[in-house]
Structure 1
Amino acid sequence: MIAIVDYDVGNLKNVYTALGDVGLEGTITRDKKVLDQADAIILPGVGAFSDAMDNLTKFDLVETLDRNVKKGKILLGICLGMQLLFDQSYEDGEFSGLSYIPGEIVKFNAPNIKIPHMGWNNLIINRESSLVKNIGNDDYVYFVHSYYAKPNDFNDVIAYAEYSVRVPGIVQKDNVIGMQFHPEKSSQVGLQLLKNFKEMIR
């Protein structure tokens, strides 16, 4: 069973449906016991970084996430959920994140690009990983974001997109994984990525 964290931020139902499409049982929850019992945890999210961290704190979920990550359970952050995995964000101020992956979240700052970065971009593989099995440099996924991750170590990036800078698309540090794009909105490529995620849990 995969626990999808319900903290009033994110398109939970789309993620739930996509899990079902690849044969994974999902449950939308903020129950700590359910999170502890889950085979893996997904942290979705759309919206502002500070609001999301406030909600995780309000629902007393940070310690639960910390405990499960330390136990080695796989945690997948999607879109804003991925950004929360880093140390801090500079979105409308400076805010601390979950600090599972060293680095920060910064705003796109280049002339002549549209912000938010919205639409389909191909993924460029940065290093080998079972997460990108059957995924190539011509495979496109769907992004919607105005801020992007700058990891301290670019080796934590499995795949990236080019959008004025190298935008981390898939990151991983040990059992913590992030996808900046929406796999649940990325057609067959997104489903393949979720299948690869499923194989990692087994």
Structure 2
Amino acid sequence: MIAIVDYDVGNLKNVYTALGDVGLEGVITRDKKVLEDAEAIILPGVGAFSDAMENLRKFELIDCLDANIKKGKPLLGICLGMQLLFDKSYEDGEFPGLSYIPGEIVKFSAPGIKIPHMGWNNLIINRDSPLVRNIGPEDYVYFVHSYYAKPINFDDVVAYAEYSVKVPGIVQRDNVMGMQFHPEKSSTVGLQLLKNFKEILS
């Protein structure tokens, strides 16, 4: 069973449906016991970084996430959920994140580019990982975001997209993983990525 964290900032139903499409049983929850018992945790997210962190605090979920990460349980952050995995964000101020992956969330700043970065981009593999098995340069995924991750160590980036800079699309540090794009909105490529996540759990 995969726990999809319900903290009022998420694309929960689509993620739940996509898990079912690859044969994973999901449950939408903020119950700490369910999170504790889950095989893995997915942290979705749509909206503002500061609101998301405030809601995790409000529902007293941060200590629970920390404890599960320390035990080695796989966690996958999606879109805003991936950004929360980093140390801090500069979205509308400066706000601390969960600090599972060293780095910051910053705004696109190149002159002339459209913000938000919205649409389909292919992924460029930066390093080997089971997460990108059967994924190649011709495979496109769907992004919608105005801020992107700047990890301290680029080896934490499994795959990136080019959009004025190298935009981390998939990150991984040990059992903590993230996808900046929406796998649940990325057609067959997104389902392949979720199948790869499933294989990691088996």
Q: TM-score range by the shorter chain?
A: over 0.9
1:153-172 to 2 correspondences below 5 Å: 153-172=153-172
Three-state SS of the structure 2 residue aligned to 1:112 is coil
User: Which residue of structure 2 lines up, in the alignment, with residue 118 of structure 1?
Assistant: 118
**What residue identity is the alignment partner of 1:117?**
H
Three-state SS of the structure 2 residue aligned to 1:195 is helix
1:137-152 to 2 correspondences below 5 Å: 137-152=137-152
1:192 matched to 2:192? The reply is: yes
**What residue identity is the alignment partner of 1:171?**
V
User: Which residue of structure 2 lines up, in the alignment, with residue 45 of structure 1?
Assistant: 45
TM-score between both structures, scaled by the size of structure 2: 1.00
1:58 matched to 2:58? The reply is: yes
User: Which residue of structure 2 lines up, in the alignment, with residue 100 of structure 1?
Assistant: 100
- Per-residue deviation at 1:112? 1.1
Moved segments of 4+, more than 3 Å:
none
User: Which residue of structure 2 lines up, in the alignment, with residue 9 of structure 1?
Assistant: 9
- Per-residue deviation at 1:137? 1.1
| Paired residues, number | 202
Q: Distance in 2 between matches of 1:60 and 1:12?
A: 19
User: Which residue of structure 1 lines up, in the alignment, with residue 72 of structure 2?
Assistant: 72
- Per-residue deviation at 1:64? 0.3
TM-score between both structures, scaled by the size of structure 1: 1.00
- Per-residue deviation at 1:195? 0.1
Please provide the CA RMSD for this pair: 0.3
Task: Identify unmatched segments of 5+ residues in structure 2.
Answer: none
Q: Distance in 2 between matches of 1:138 and 1:113?
A: 23
